[in-house]
Structure 1
Amino acid sequence: MPHRRDFRVQGAVGVGTQYFIETKVKQITVDRLAPKDLTKTTPSSLLAPNITKAKMPFLVVVTPNIPADKKDEFLGAWPQVKEDIAKQPGVIGVAGGHVINENGTPVTDFKFLQTITFESAADDKAFAESAWIKEREEQFKASPGGEPRVKKFETGPLPGEKPKTFTQFCFIDVADESKHEEAKQAWMDLVAALGQTVHFGGKSVDGGQSTGLGILGWDSDDEAKAAWTKPEAQAALQKYQGFGKSIGVMVKLDV
């Protein structure tokens, strides 16, 4: 599995017995989908089931810092939080789930990863400035947790296939920015060695360390483990890791 590193993504914070999504986060910018047949919708995508080909969505990846004694409260509140966020104007997808392993190593502490997809940058801005959010600003400030980290990525088109329960977010800090395209090709070779046909990814665009993102879907954790241990996958992984430090975060999505 990818080389381990500490990667936390900014976002959700606890609000008493309820948790809401911190909107002052950076977004993953998704490239415009194919311009043809703009009136038609794609099939349910990995993270945005209502996306249309005419839209340029923004995907927010959120990893809340949840104190151990707040785990049950968070899980109890999440379904309603997910429903409430999904109802907000401009939101076209909300997903989340437990982080079950990092680089194939089981995660013993409770970790949760969430995603929110907006139709456009303007919709994200409107969400951040909405009355719904402003009503919760003081709650955000008083919540436990601390400041996680966030990165913004520009990605390719979202796949149209139905999401799989086990979704793997793979990040790599590219040591030499000039070799990003080579790192991208190494990732594509790794994807092929893993036997994956549906995937997407991108490149950070918010300055600082250049980070690549790749997202894979699996039917089970065991399927993923078997794929990663294949000799051809290990060889491709070694080449991929030569471009920088990486981590793979497996999430069991509530889809």
Structure 2
Amino acid sequence: MTRTTGATDLAPRTYAWEIRASGLQVRAGRKKMAVDGLDLSLGIGAHGLLGPNGAGKTTLIRALATVLRPAGGELELLGKSMSGLGDLRALRRRIGYLPQEFGYYKRFTVREFVEYMAWLKEVPKADIPGAVQRAVERVGLADRADHRMKTLSGGMVRRAGIAQAIVNDPDLLLLDEPTAGLDPAQRLRFRELLQELGREACVIVSTHLVEDVAAACSDVVLFADGRLVYQGTPEVLAAAGGPEHPGDSPLERGYSALLSHSEQPGGTW
């Protein structure tokens, strides 16, 4: 599929990283500091965000989606500092976001839902029909494009959510548990799509399924208690574990080993 070229694509690149965080702090609610002192730089590619429940992954994704403002530290997205940045509309036009749960009008067809989201993202009116068609084709819903959302299975709804996230050809794509409800065949196609998207954009996938990360992501970010535990390749993460660590695969055992190590004083890699 060809990516729509706009003025932003033709402008000279002025930043080194799509995401750069330094000492980043983000609150979940009024009191809890769910992200606490994060240093992280990510560029183009598919990056897997792993971590146990309550690690702060969703809070981090929400901050990267500009839903939450940093409570401290520095955060730059696509070369724009979030400190004192007023109008977020221009930045949000370049971001795609799939939250764990998303709302939609049940009487909308898939096409109408993705069209509506394209309009919200200020995709040029003349470009919307083509952008919507490409998005639904990429997630395998072309044959369901004119079916109402309320008639879809849970996995199909999730794929419609992915379609709306990519309809604007984002430079930064944030997917929170995107494979929930997908069957094995759909997950395989999703992995292929991740690799495809990661060639042109910075893609972050938050998931509990380490095998998806191993198959589709060139980079792993392991997160626990609001802090970075590990950043590197899936191969190095897999090598960190041994037979004494819990898990059904080398990557799961490496994941367990580093989480166990991070719980010890001075244990962050």
TM value normalised by structure 2: 0.29
Looking at secondary structure, tell me which structure has more helix per residue: 2
Q: Which has the larger radius of gyration?
A: 2
TM value normalised by structure 1: 0.30
